[in-house]
Amino acid sequence: MRKLTLMLVVVSLLVCTVPRGWAGPGPKPADLDKLAAAKAEEEKGDLARIHRDYNSAVFHYSAALRMNRQDPALYNKIGIAEIKLKDTKAARKHFSQALKYDPHNCSALNNLGAVAYIGRKYKDAGGYFKQALALDELSAPTHLNLAEAWMGMGEVEHAMTEYTRALELNADILSVGPDGIQAQIATPEQRARVSYLLAKAYAKRGNVEGALEYLRRAKEGRYPDLAKVYTDQEFAPLWKDPRLAKIVKR
């Protein structure tokens, strides 16, 4: 019995002397080499995407994924390149894979929403964008995307709320792209429409300078309904301002 007690004490001491935070042996050299090779291919893919060579980007990201199959960011990157190539089926698959390895990946949810939006499934798109914002409310691109989904559903007031929130978070959201793993719905028509809607919002708040600036941007973007500035009541405070007539003639 004393011998057994002694053995238990020795085992206890051995357990207690294991350094705190120790998690067993580290990665094998071969695994580290594979991860390094995957990172190199990923960087080649990033460079190709910067130069808008999306076929090469997909090639390099695919090579990286063969060596590192559990990286959500990689799945997001290849999916975005595939969106640029209009291969939404492959993009949807890869964004779903990103969620498989990281169920709380707001970028992947946003990107699935972008795929649904491209397919004109605006309600589905809005659902994905809302899920993404529940995880990261500070994502300006996702607010902008949700605004576009609301526009697709004909919900202008809801869209205005999201456009405004996107600009509160990032004043340059219409001219500066996202971080590279988050799809952002952006078209020239969108920019012109957003500019007009924001001009209306500024006018409603009494910010005449802001309203005039965004009306100029809407005009530069060839917004087709610019003449509504003289019928939309929000612009009433500007009707007698001579600067408005220089932007939009009656």
Tens of pLDDT, residue by residue over 199-236, are 988 898 899 999 999 999 999 999 999 999 999 999 99
Predicted pLDDT at 106:
95
pLDDT exceeds 80 at position 82: yes
pLDDT band for 25, please (50, 70, 90 cuts).
Answer: low
17 domain residue, yes or no: no
CA angle, 60 then 64 then 69, to 5°: 140
Contact 159, 190 (CB under 8 A): no
Q: What is the mean pLDDT of the chain?
A: 85
Total-model pTM: 0.74
Domain count, the chain: 1
Alpha carbons 65 and 237: distance in angstroms, whole number: 57
- Which of 12-21, 83-92, 120-129, 154-163 is the least confident region? 12-21
150 domain residue, yes or no: no
> Which CATH number is 88's domain given?
1.25.40.10
69 domain residue, yes or no: yes
Contact 49, 19 (CB under 8 A): no
User: At residue 101, what is the residue type?
Assistant: Y
Alpha helices in 120-155 (DSSP H): 122-135, 140-152
202 domain residue, yes or no: no
Burial state string for 75-92 with b = 16 or more CB within 10 A and e = fewer than 16: bbbbbbbbbbeebbeebb
Cα 36 to its chain centre, rounded Å, is: 27
pLDDT band for 185, please (50, 70, 90 cuts).
Answer: confident
54 domain residue, yes or no: yes
Percent of the chain with pLDDT over 90: 64
Domain range for 64: 35-103
pLDDT band for 184, please (50, 70, 90 cuts).
Answer: confident
CA angle, 104 then 109 then 112, to 5°: 150
Alpha carbons 127 and 131: distance in angstroms, whole number: 6
Predicted pLDDT at 27:
62
